[in-house]
Amino acid sequence: MKKTRLGQTQLEVSEMCFGVLPMVPLQARISEEAGGELILAALRQGVNFIDTAETYNTYPHIRRALDQFNGEVIIATKSPAHTYADMERSIELALKSLGREQIEIFLLHAARVTPAVFEERAGAFQCLVDYKEKGILKAIGISTHVVPVVRRAAEIPNVDIIFPIVNKLGMGIVDGSIDEMLQAIRKAHDARKGLYGMKALAGGHLITDLKEAFDFVRQIPELSSIAVGMVKLEELEMNLKIFNDEELSANLTIGNLKASKRLHILTNICRGCGTCVETCPNAALSLVDGKAQVDRDSCILCGYCNPVCPEFALRVV
């Protein structure tokens, strides 16, 4: 698979990045064994880049694949930490859980924030800077849905990597349009930042327009890689063919892979606290008659609402 240098780092990443978010317990609930086997299959076919996060609880899945693979694997993870101590714990957890002495990319997990995030989470970001100087991290940066945050990150010298949301519909983009996000991405690239994109399929809304959706993001020259969530071998095989510019075989049909996942709200246990509404970066949740309600046309299944619900009333199934 085609590999590209990520910004000014020495990291050469595959054009397709394996995004493990859909494997999480509150989404597809893929076992460690099954998840590890799928990740391993991708690694053996040329994918060398994995995107995860502390909140996904998928380190064990990745560890299983790493333990059976001898080639280079570049891992990007993220933490919602605000303080130095919390970020330090996040780094130590990642190292221990993945069985590594070094993590290639570590990001602030910051979907719905303002450009003041670097001041508000200064302790956490300083920890990333310090651990990069120690050689424990190779590159640091931010993951975000917010156009002004991408612009701000482009101006910060210590930011190496930016992981923005981008898809042809502009779904999930906060405080800006798809055109404005593309402009912000160009600004970051001009500032010599490394960029890879998320949510190319807009959380499944573009699954029936799969090839065109991927073509849109693949043709953004500033992006070195695209994170793609997968939970089935059929998905992996189809995506590999698309990213390798191979003809799709008859048994790999988009119809067979049509997205069926939805965000479900267990109204019998939802107490209407509004935490999920405040957390959702896509304005897809609201409170109606004291219960959370989802606008399915706006929901991109990003999963950020699930872990914050104190009643565990949200499920992506």
Residue 256 has pLDDT above 80, yes or no: no
**147 and 89 within one domain:** yes
Q: What is the CATH number for 308?
A: 3.30.70.20
Domain boundary among 242, 257, 272: 257
Kindly state whether residues 253 and 268 are assigned to the same domain. no
pLDDT class for 247, splitting at 50, 70, 90? confident
**Domain-terminating residue out of 206, 228, 257:** 257
6-10, 164-168, 285-289, 311-315, range with the lowest pLDDT = 311-315
Q: What pTM did the predictor assign?
A: 0.87
281 lies in the same domain as 158: no
Task: Looking at the structure, tell me whether residues 187 and 308 fall in a common domain.
Answer: no
96/303 Cα distance (integer angstroms): 25
Boundary of a domain, candidates 219, 237, 257: 257
CATH number at residue 120: 3.20.20.100
Number of domains in the chain: 2
State yes or no: pLDDT of 26 exceeds 80.
Answer: no
pLDDT at 251 over 80: no
Do 248 and 191 have their domain in common?
A: yes
pLDDT mean across residues, the chain: 91
Q: Is 93 in the same domain as 235?
A: yes
- What is the bridge-based pairing of β-strands 314-316 and 16-19? unpaired
Report how far residue 178's alpha carbon sits from residue 165's, in angstroms, rounded to the nearest whole number.
9
Same domain, 159 and 69: yes
Residues 60 and 150 in one domain: yes
| In a shared domain, residues 94 and 131 | yes
Least-confidence region, from 35-49, 214-228, 241-255: 241-255
Q: What is the pLDDT of residue 236?
A: 94
pLDDT of 43 above 90: yes
Domain of 297, in residue numbers? 263-316
Question: Are 139 and 167 part of one and the same domain?
Answer: yes
Whether residues 110 and 202 share a domain: the answer is: yes
Decide if pLDDT at 205 tops 80: no
> Strand 137-144 and strand 194-197: pairing?
unpaired
Domain shared by 221 and 84, yes or no: yes
Question: Does the structure show a pLDDT above 80 at 266?
Answer: no
